[in-house]
Structure 1
């Protein structure tokens, strides 16, 4: 029987890990010993020295050694046990709210204790609440020789269990050269000054005495940088492999109809910008090849991405193929449907609209038109990739605000176009500018086009930062604005991550504004309304039958009302900069002078002032996105709803992003000189198998 390498063994092979503990570890993504080795400490405790009680200060986390003077039950407020200890320099209280009779008996006078915890100011001086402690016999040393790792946990799992398991896993894997095989080429390690893999893993789980907790926490340690770099590299390689696999497939070739395009452009009431023309040329070149296009178009709010998508659709339709456009919300899908219907009004293309709300005979008619090919273009939401939807010859998939969709959803739509050995071209769009560092890693499987120019005549939005104490002034400004026959938005932002509370806040705000502005026609839109009701309010606003639209962030994308030139965003400090920029993009869409008022709650933190100041000073979405990444991290750039985002075990895009500049060079070197390292590197960090590249592609990220 072939011996299994230790790193591939299940965690149940370790002493003390039974079936129940294995289930808990699985919640942390830990199934094998290798998973355990790469489950790194989130911080470290310094128990290498004791601190005299007299030297303690509130906020310190320290190891203290003292003798119990007395233990007493306190019944003021919550019942607690207070234990008073002393050393030659002073006295300290230990307070326990959860305790047992056995614990009370253990803490008897004269007992020596080693206590570790945070120092706080209590009723009777300094105290530790629920410290970790142990009774010290004369021959026991309370201090540790190295820093103590603190691991991310889940319910039912203790630090002690995890530390013992990691210790066993290290002992087994360090004896086996295959388990911690260093697939990073020596030339890369030497250039970057990185330690070997086994050195790095040992250092982070069991730091040597000369390393301080500060060095470990700030991310400058070569051991940590080496693992973060390798993780970035593995994901980058996986995306490149997925892209390579996708490009080996065959796609329909679009034959450009110059006359149809010329007629289409002639019917538009405006000229294309140079940036739009450049991106259209890139798309047409891609779709004129036998290999499927895989292109991301990013551009700031109002840059004209949708029109670019329409011209891409025209190329497919005039070549006899079908097109599907998927949007994340019914509001946005409905707006696309209206725009495309207007742009294609002079053609014989049949356009259908499909969402979850379409029922009965109307739905059957739509599905039949897609299946028999009589409908050339379908615009809809998640409903497009349901099993009941079949296409006659789908050749172009357009996905708007692509980060809102999960991997499997995008794959399901792509699969619907796979027939006769061909796969559809894919065009994905986002109005959230993606910072270069983020694009380099998470979107390296895509060819990226940037529309970096706004249509002529668009006026910049003037942004003001106003404390909520001046709310009455803001309301008066709305009244004056509406009196000039102009429209406005009032946006209620996220409250405690709860959509229900957010909607309730919007309802209360609308009710209050109706009381103080009796002559203003007020509409309300939020995510919990029925689609038909929401659509009715939006149509009234678009047609000028409503002066002020109170809304949640549901209007973040896709709403286009030229007469609405004033926006109030309440509690802007709760949102990321990029999302605020998206919301602000709803105004300034016509020739009006436009304004955005950020109505914040006082007092505003220093970082809050800095963030809102950036938004006030800049209207460049790419600059804002870079600052957002710098200040808040990658999860905030595209919002918490991002479902396709790569999840890292060790690397941190905010902390480690300077490593990304070297990742592309290293990936090229490995592909060229060390191709045998690709498979084990990718498998180690992504859990994928290169025996099926399509599965790997789906696992990591697929547009």
Structure 2
């Protein structure tokens, strides 16, 4: 029988039968290795008895004393109160759930040792439902030889059970393979895997509790390093698999692109030209392009995508442009149609809201190859959608889609020439730390320049008690010929209530400003109605557009110079930045007013301060990462990526250069270590990469 903890079932541990195994499975614990890597959330110091007189409210400690008085009190809730004293002070044990035997055992003169958190009581400090036991008065003050681990748990699995299982599992540590080379560990000054795990399950009393809680202990850093390395290697493996596939080498004389650029009413920026060159070089190769184009709001990513699309079309291939929302897909469809139709290129349109007849018609022109460019939403993933000769997939706002979805679309386009190329765009800048870890399978380009004539947006933060002043400001902006957005953000979780709030706001503003044309856009409107409203706003027929966050991305109205965002404290930095990007798209001085409802929490105050101080998307993304963590910034629920269990990308950024270097070393010198290391940390989450 193997002694590798990765292949030993938890049922080999004493006290784990089918029922306990079922409960452990809810925690993702199936093997002995899973138990070893199920690390404590926090630790308690039960290694010494603390004098009662030294306790302060909030202290968690072991105390020992003699029972002075035990009585049942009847108030709002019946409780058992037991006063204990050790000569330095006294405190009260309070039990809400108790029986006659417990009351009898806590008789006057009994010695009791208990662990709990001290709280202020009516006359003394109190321990509410502490762990306690009766002891002999002469027992040693040493209560535990190591800090006590507190594990993540689930219903029916007690901490004592998890401590017992981790104790048993540690007897199998010797069977764990060390996949990091000894010379690498020595150069980094890190402990072995076994040493790190033993330390974290049973830290000695001299280990700093604060260091453990901050994740700074060398044992935690050792495991964080290995986890980040596994994540990075999994993405590198995905990249290698992609590179092993064939793709059509798209080469032509660039005639369509020349015509397109000549008809544009603006010059491309140097940054746009650089990124287009990078894309066209990728497209000319016989391996699938996997390029992520990051560009701040308004940097001109769509024009870059159009150049890539035209290159594919001129080479005889179809192009798919996919967006996460119907409104953004509509905007892309309009842009691509306006730009490409004059060049004789047919642009098809496919979303979930199309009527059956329209849908059949669009699918026929797509599968028949009459449409060279197809714009749409998630509807493009559906099984019945067939392409004629798909050469390029362009995905906007990649983090809104899952890795599974992205790869599914790529598989749909697989043909005699291999897999289609992929160009992925995002206006949500991804901090380098995230890109290195979670997008190591992609080449990254950054459009780090805004088109000339764009004026920075001035942001102010104002309490909603000054709403009347803002309404006056809206009136002044419209009187000077400008247009205004008024964004109603999510007050209720229900979309219906959110749309209702937007309708109420639109009515109130129309009543307060009768001379203005007030429009309304929200998520429950029909696509055609939203499009008509947006078209009217863009044409200048509407002065003030009240909207929910559906206008977050894609809408381009250069004459709009003022945006008011209600309940701004409820939104994340990335979303606030995206919304603000709807103004400042012309040459006029533009402003964004963040209305908040007092009182503001500390986090919300920090977020709004960041918005006021900078318009740099990468700086905002860095703050967003620090405040909300990688899961929120990446939209991980959609991505299909494994989230980090031990490592913290903000805290452990300093490890990343060494992680990259170690990944190269393992892939080059220890290729046999890569798969097992990835499996240990990521397991089945890498299965989407088997393509």
TM-score (norm 2): 0.94
Shift of 1:30: 1.9
Would you say 1:239 and 2:235 are equivalent positions? Answer: yes
Q: CA deviation at 1:385?
A: 0.5
Q: CA offset at residue 670 of structure 1? A: 1.6
Q: 1:13 to 1:233 in 2, by over 3 A?
A: same
Q: Is the Cα–Cα contact under 8 Å of residues 295 and 426 in structure 1 kept in the other structure?
A: yes
Q: How do 1:429-508 residues align onto structure 2 when only pairs under 5 Å count? A: 429-495=425-491, 499=495, 502-508=498-504
1:314 aligns with 310
What do the CA deviations read for 1:148-181 (whole angstroms, capped 9, x no partner)? 111112233221221111111111x13x4xx321
* Corresponding residue for residue 134 of structure 1: 133
Shift in CA distance, 140/525, structure 1 to aligned 2, threshold 3 Å: farther
Counterparts of 2:101 and 2:493, CA distance in 1: 42
- Relative to structure 1, the CA distance from residue 362 to residue 658 in structure 2 (aligned partners, 3 Å threshold; closer, same or farther) is same
Match of 2:319 in 1: 323
CA distance in structure 1 between the partners assigned to 2:65 and 2:537 by the alignment = 71
Counterpart for residue 406 of structure 1: 402
Match of 1:151 in 2: 151
Q: Secondary structure at the match of 2:94?
A: strand
d(CA) in 2 for partners of 1:511, 1:51: 65
Is structure 2 residue 273 aligned with structure 1 residue 281? Answer: no
Post-superposition offset of 1:505:
4.3
Distance in 1 (CA, whole Å) between partners of 2:497 and 2:70 is: 46
Which sits farther off after the overlay, 618-627 or 534-543?
534-543
The answer as to whether partners of 1:229 and 1:663 remain within 8 angstroms in 2 is yes
In the other structure, the counterpart of 1:697 is: 689
* Worse-matched range after superposition: 664-673 or 81-90: 81-90
Task: Between 367-376 and 602-611, report the one with greater CA deviation.
Answer: 602-611
Given that residues 506 and 552 in structure 1 are in contact (C-alpha distance below 8 angstroms), is that contact kept between their aligned partners in structure 2? yes
Q: Among residues 234, 238, 246, which one is paired with 1:250 in the alignment?
A: 246
Alignment of 1:647 onto 2:643:
yes
Q: Who is 1:18 aligned against?
A: 17
Deviations 1:221-273 (A, max 9, x none): 11110110011111111111110111111101212242221111111111111
Q: Distance in 2 between matches of 1:82 and 1:445?
A: 61
Match of 2:176 in 1: 180
Which residue number corresponds to residue 271 of structure 1?
267
3-state SS of 1:62 partner = strand
Pick the aligned partner of 2:377 from 378, 381, 390: 381
Deviation per residue, 1:292-334 (Å, 9 max, x gap): 1000000100000011111111111111111111110001001
Structure 2 spans left out of the alignment, 5+ residues? none
SS of residue matched to 1:227: helix
Q: How many angstroms does 1:655 deviate by?
A: 1.3
- Which piece of structure 1 moves more, 248-257 or 316-325? 248-257
Distance 1:542 1:123 in 2: 66
Which residue does 1:60 correspond to in 2?
A: 59
Distance 2:289 2:136 in 1: 71
Aligned 8 A contact 1:405 1:644 in 2? no
Q: Pairwise mapping of residues 59-78 of structure 1 onto structure 2 (< 5 A)?
A: 59-78=58-77
SS of equivalent residue, structure 2 residue 471: helix
The 1:119–1:520 alpha-carbon spacing in structure 2 relative to 1, beyond 3 Å, is farther
Alignment correspondent of 2:344? 348
The change in CA–CA distance for 1:494 and 1:82 in structure 2 (over 3 A counts) is farther
Answer yes or no: is the 8 Å Cα contact 1:615–1:624 preserved in 2.
yes
How far apart, in 1, do the equivalents of 2:74 and 2:524 lie?
47
Q: Indicate which of 238, 258, 264 corresponds to 1:262.
A: 258
Contact 1:39 1:649 survives alignment (8 Å): no
How far, CA to CA, are the matches of 2:520 and 2:53 in structure 1?
Answer: 61
Q: Distance in 2 between matches of 1:508 and 1:471?
A: 15
Mean CA deviation greater in 641-650 or 332-341: 641-650
Residue of structure 2 equivalent to 1:366: 362
2:664 corresponds to: 668
Q: CA deviation at 1:36?
A: 1.4
TM-aligned CA distance change 1:165 to 1:70, over 3 Å: same
**What is the CA-CA distance between 1:199 and the residue it aligns to?**
0.2
Change (3 A) 1:608 1:486: same
Whole-Å separation in 1 of the counterparts to 2:507 and 2:201: 57
SS in 1 for 2:631: helix
Cα displacement string for residues 469-528 of structure 1 (whole angstroms, at most 9, x for unaligned residues)? 322222221222223332222223344766555445444444443444444443333334
CA distance, structure 2, for counterparts of residue 640 and residue 288 of structure 1 = 32
Which is further off, 462-471 or 43-52? 462-471
Match of 2:121 in 1: 122
- Per mean C-alpha deviation after superposition, the further-off stretch among 331-340 and 369-378 is 369-378
Whether the 8 Å CA contact 2:403–2:688 is kept in 1: the answer is no
Partners of 2:20 and 2:523 in 1: CA distance: 40
Distance in 1 (CA, whole Å) between partners of 2:128 and 2:495 is: 36
Counterpart for residue 681 of structure 2: 685
Matching residue of 1:28: 27
2:590 matched residue in structure 1: 594
Structure 1, unaligned runs of 5 or more:
none
Q: Residue in 1 aligned with 2:545? A: 549
Distance 1:571 1:390, change over 3 A: same
Deviates more, 1:460-469 or 1:573-582: 573-582
CA deviation string 1:620-648 (max 9, x = no partner): 11122223323442234345765344401
Shift of 1:362: 0.9
2:527 and 2:637 mapped to 1: Cα distance?
Answer: 20
For 1:641 and 1:352, locate their aligned partners in 2 and report how far apart those are by CA, in whole Å. 30
Aligned length: 690
- Structure 2 counterpart of 1:197: 193
Match of 2:389 among 389, 393, 403: 393
Give the deviation of 1:570 after TM superposition. 2.5
Residues 197 and 620 of structure 1, relative CA distance in 2, 3 Å threshold: same
Other structure's SS at 1:7 match: coil
The answer to which of 75-84 and 400-409 deviates more is 75-84
Q: Cα offset for 1:576?
A: 2.6
Q: Distance in 1 between matches of 2:112 and 2:533?
A: 68
Shift in CA distance, 126/686, structure 1 to aligned 2, threshold 3 Å = same
**Which whole-Å CA distance do the structure 1 matches of 2:72 and 2:478 have between them?**
66
